[in-house]
Amino acid sequence: MGFFSADCVHCAHPLLSTYASNEINAWMMHAVAITANGSVLVGQYDGYGRIGEIQVPDFPRATCWHYECWQRAGSPAEYRGPSTLSADQGFFFTTEHDVSADEAFDAGGTSPPGN
């Protein structure tokens, strides 16, 4: 499988890798994935389904957060269903993801529990 990403369950911006980030959105590289079985994985997203050195089991079904959004939401550990896979794969975009953590979190809403 090639390059792919998921959108943060709170702010709806994708998890980014070092290949797609810049000084404005570098905070989007730091990710949290919560799997259906309750595992909470925290680290830097690589663009290929790994957070840190760990391959996220069944990444397309994980609840994904930016670490910053997750912390600001109180670090919830419950699985909320699968995050939306990023239409731009967290890579093929221009400036739409050049936002600060404050802007993204404030625009993101309330992070309601999933299904």
Confidence of residue 113 (pLDDT cuts 50, 70, 90): very low
- Residues 48-97: pLDDT tens digits? 999 999 999 889 999 999 999 999 999 999 999 999 999 888 887 887 77
pLDDT above 50: residue 114: no
Q: What is the 3-state secondary structure (H, E, C) of the chain?
A: CCCCCEECCCCCCECCCCCCCCCCCHHHHEEEEECCCCCEEEEEECCCCEECCEECCCHHHCEEEEHHHHHHCCCCCCCCCCCCECCCCCCCCCCCCCCCHHHHHHHCCCCCCCC
pTM, two decimals, is 0.85
